[in-house]
Amino acid sequence: MNREQRRKMIKAATKNGVNKEHAKAYAEISKGTGVHTKAKVFEEDDKLMLDIAAIKARKNYPVMNPKYKEFVETSEGKIFTAHKENTNMISLKEEPQWLFWSGDLIKVNDD
């Protein structure tokens, strides 16, 4: 993503109600990832899992924080509870230090 694309993405996100700092953070995270997942809609307290394949497919995954990578790699099959930080930015109630793009999460059916 070049500078113009980054600015355009941040402007569009803030226009749609995303906190500017969250939009900047996501722009930085997605910079050079090569993989963009479509946003998904989650509600507070939805049960969800990480889309580990999508996260690991990103070009920048090898250089991400080792603690983050360890968390992702040890979370296969684990179910978490959503906390909406913003429309498309979700933290996990069980692990609040990590912030996820909604497209990197999978909703778990309640049935």
Count of residues in the chain: 111
Number of domains making up the chain = 1
Residue 33 to residues 28, 64, 82, Cα–Cα distance (Å): 10, 11, 24
What is the span of the domain harbouring residue 18? 3-107
pLDDT tens-place string over residues 52-71: 998 898 877 888 889 999 99
Alpha-helical (H) ranges within 31-84 are 52-56, 66-73
pLDDT-derived band of residue 81, with 50, 70 and 90 as boundaries?
very high
pLDDT tens-place string over residues 20-55: 887 787 777 666 555 567 888 999 999 999 999 988
Q: What is the pTM of this model?
A: 0.69
Q: What is the mean pLDDT of the chain?
A: 85
